[in-house]
Amino acid sequence: MRHLLSTHDLSRADAIRILDTAEEMSAVNDREVKKLPALRGRTVVNLFFEDSTRTRISFEAAAKRLSADVINFAAKGSSVSKGESLKDTAQTLEAIGADAVVIRHPASGAAQRLATTDWISAAVVNAGDGTHEHPTQALLDAFTLRRHWAKLAGTPSGGTDLAGAKVTIVGDVLHSRVARSNVWLLTTLGAQVTLVAPPTLLPIGVEHWPCTVAYDFDEAIDAKPDAIMMLRVQAERMNASYFPSTGEYSRRWGLGDERFARLAELGLADTVILHPGPMVRGLEISSTAADSARSQVLRQVANGVSVRMAVLYLLLSSGLYAQDATAAHAKESAS
């Protein structure tokens, strides 16, 4: 793995390797000294063309806990807003000596452009590109779910996947990079994914995705999901006629108090609620649901740091040699 650009092309083995490594990272986060020397002397640039304090500080904490030097490059108000191209910015970072670039960008494919051009040689981590993908968000969601179910089963989560789990993703799938990354990753890990959304907020072509699609949230709840992932809905979509009003959206596709209560009526004691944040309370999710014991929102945030540590570690700890199991084995025996 040279870069992490999407979950679409992530193999099951690589996904599990990231999740297992994140488990070890998570143990470090519980220690008094929350720091490892693994990336000492390496430079990680957080290149953010969109404001996203949450994602940025998560990556920053992850890099710092691995002892990397962190440079935060917020493109707003910089030379970029004066018309500097992505290419020039990338080449600047190359000249500075960046070993990894964590990029958040409003254009779909921006991370892949960085990774596949000769503008920069650093490892590229996609921290959200347009409406394409947000792979570390999906990984932290998978990590959170895996832990939850391992805990219920009383088994260690290491090495396990999400086989058989039913995950329902609700909201603006069309514009959601989180939904895309989760559909690919969760299904790669064996989960059954159902998308619930107004037909206007599903992409043409969604019927080719490895999941089922439904328009009725209540029916989806009656199908007894193990997890419900709510997506953020931007109220301004209303102005482009994606739905008639926020009130109607909330009634049909929001996780309001009644639907939340229905989970208990159905005896779904262990069904959890996820949200990538930031939440719009009252639109897609009620405060009762968001603040309930089912909500994994804060665990998602904490797990985000562990998952991002794992990704940075796996991408950066091997700088010179490609992945080669034979070489690893030979070295180990010689020690």
Question: In Å, what is the CA distance from 262 to each residue of 143, 152, 162, 228, 280?
Answer: 26, 21, 24, 13, 21
Name which of residues 109 to 148 contact another protein (CB under 8 A).
Answer: 109-110, 112-113, 116-117, 129-133
DSSP labels, 222-269: HT--SEEEEPP--GGGGGGTSSS-HHHHHHHHSB-HHHHHHHHHTT-T
Residue ranges of alpha helices (H) inside the chain are 12-29, 53-65, 86-96, 110-116, 135-153, 177-188, 217-222, 246-253, 257-265, 287-290, 297-316, 325-334
Shortest Å distance, C-beta 280 to another protein: 21
Residue 71 binding another protein, by CB under 8 A: no
- Tell me the C-alpha distance between 289 and 259, whole Å: 9
Q: Looking at 53-61, 164-172, 192-200, 327-335, which segment touches another protein (CB under 8 A)?
A: 327-335
Query: Which of 151, 166, 163, 179 has its CA nearest to residue 268?
Result: 166
Among 31, 77, 239, 265, binds another protein (CB under 8 A): 31
Among 72, 108, 187, 246, binds another protein (CB under 8 A): 108
Name which of residues 39 to 68 contact another protein (CB under 8 A).
Answer: 42, 66
Shortest Å distance, C-beta 276 to another protein: 15
Q: Looking at 17-25, 68-76, 193-201, 251-259, which segment touches another protein (CB under 8 A)?
A: 17-25
Residue 21 binding another protein, by CB under 8 A: yes
- Provide the token pair at 6: 């999407």
Q: At what angle do helices 135-153 and 177-188 cross, to 10 degrees?
A: 50
Q: Give 81's Cβ-side CA count (13 Å radius).
A: 9
Shortest Å distance, C-beta 225 to another protein: 23
Shortest Å distance, C-beta 272 to another protein: 25
Among 96, 152, 153, 327, binds another protein (CB under 8 A): 327
- Provide the token pair at 160: 């396990």
Residue 322 binding another protein, by CB under 8 A: yes
Which residues, 6+ apart, have CB-to-CB distance to 97 below 8 Å?
Answer: 43
Size of the residue set binding another protein (CB under 8 A): 59
- Provide the token pair at 321: 């040699």
Among 71, 80, 206, 268, binds another protein (CB under 8 A): 206
Cβ pair 189, 20 in contact under 8 A: no
Binding mask 164-203 for another protein (x = CB under 8 A): -------------x--x----------------------x
Residue 85 binding another protein, by CB under 8 A: yes
Query: Which of 148, 150, 145, 151 has its CA nearest to residue 168?
Result: 145
Residue 299 binding another protein, by CB under 8 A: no
Q: Looking at 70-78, 79-87, 244-252, 254-262, which segment touches another protein (CB under 8 A)?
A: 79-87
- Tell me the C-alpha distance between 163 and 183, whole Å: 14
Cβ pair 111, 129 in contact under 8 A: yes
Residues that bind another protein (CB under 8 A): 1, 8, 17, 20-21, 24-25, 27, 31, 33, 35-38, 42, 66, 85-87, 105-110, 112-113, 116-117, 129-133, 177, 180, 203-206, 208-209, 313-314, 317-325, 327-328, 331, 333-335
